[in-house]
């Protein structure tokens, strides 16, 4: 994956009022931190667009230039946390974490399904049970996403974390037996719904009979 470079501005004023002004200007208030620094910043619209281009991936290294901060030139960071407005769902704050390219780190990586499962052609329904896994490795070794080919997945079968393929330098920390995706038969789902409905209907009928007796 091609690394992106963003420019951000160091800010001295913090708090709700300062953050509100930053958002009105089209930027997003943010912070970049590590064991050695903690700097309040604002991310201008141009840089926000670049972050959208990588979907704010937690596993993608971003080269950050902090305008107004003389101690650092360009530093490698990861998107650590996003805060959303409860009504508009717009991003209102970003936490960045400064990483060392020589030290291992732990991040969550998205799982992307590839192909059309064989079980779908036979009338099954696809269920994705897990959408990301936690991995550990050097920042530049960690993939932006992990692809899983589901072409040969039949009805009644599933793929698990142990079926994922990652570089030898990357370790998956999520339990290897955790199911990622499965194809189930439609008739099994319908049968479960019918049983559930019968269970809901049967109980009040029995109570009614006892009352009449």
Has residue 142 been placed in a domain?
yes
Phi, psi of 129 (to 5 degrees): -95, -20
Looking at the predicted structure, is the pLDDT value of residue 197 above 70?
A: no
Q: Is there a single domain that holds both residue 79 and residue 134?
A: no
Has residue 205 been placed in a domain?
no
CATH code, domain carrying 122:
2.170.120.20
Q: What is the mean pLDDT of residues 127-143?
A: 96
Looking at the predicted structure, is the pLDDT value of residue 35 above 80?
A: yes
% the chain with pLDDT above 90: 76
Cβ contacts of residue 130 below 8 Å, gap of 6+?
111, 161, 174, 178, 179, 180, 181
Has residue 12 been placed in a domain?
yes
Helix ranges (H only) for the chain are 16-24, 45-53, 118-121, 186-212
Q: Which domain holds residue 65?
A: 4-99
Q: What is the mean pLDDT of residues 29-47?
A: 94
Looking at the predicted structure, is the pLDDT value of residue 192 above 90?
A: no
The domain total for the chain is 2
Q: Over the stretch 153-190, which tens digit does the pLDDT of each residue have?
A: 999 999 999 999 999 999 999 999 999 999 999 865 45
- What is the enclosing helix (H) or strand (E) of 102? none
């Amino acid at each position: 994956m091609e690394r992106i470079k963003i420019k951000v501005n160091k800010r001295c004023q913090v708090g709700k009022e300062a953050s509100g002004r930053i958002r009105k200007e089209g930027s997003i208030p943010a912070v970049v931190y590590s064991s050695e620094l903690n700097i309040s910043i604002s991310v201008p619209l141009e840089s926000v667009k670049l972050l959208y281009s990588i979907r704010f991936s937690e596993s993608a290294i971003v080269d950050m230039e902090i305008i107004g901060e003389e101690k650092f030139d360009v530093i490698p960071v990861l998107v650590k946390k996003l805060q959303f407005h409860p009504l508009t769902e717009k991003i209102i704050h970003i936490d960045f974490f400064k990483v060392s390219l020589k030290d291992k780190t732990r991040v969550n990586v998205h799982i992307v399904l590839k192909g059309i499962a064989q079980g779908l052609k036979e009338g099954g329904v696809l269920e994705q049970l897990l959408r990301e896994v936690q991995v550990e490795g050097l920042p530049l070794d960690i993939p932006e996403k992990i692809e899983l080919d589901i072409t040969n997945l039949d009805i009644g079968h599933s793929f698990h974390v142990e079926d994922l393929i990652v570089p030898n330098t990357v370790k998956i920390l999520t339990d290897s037996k955790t199911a990622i995706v499965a194809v189930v038969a439609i008739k099994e789902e319908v049968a479960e719904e019918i049983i559930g409905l019968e269970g809901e209907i049967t109980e009040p009928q029995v109570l009614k009979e006892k009352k009449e007796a």
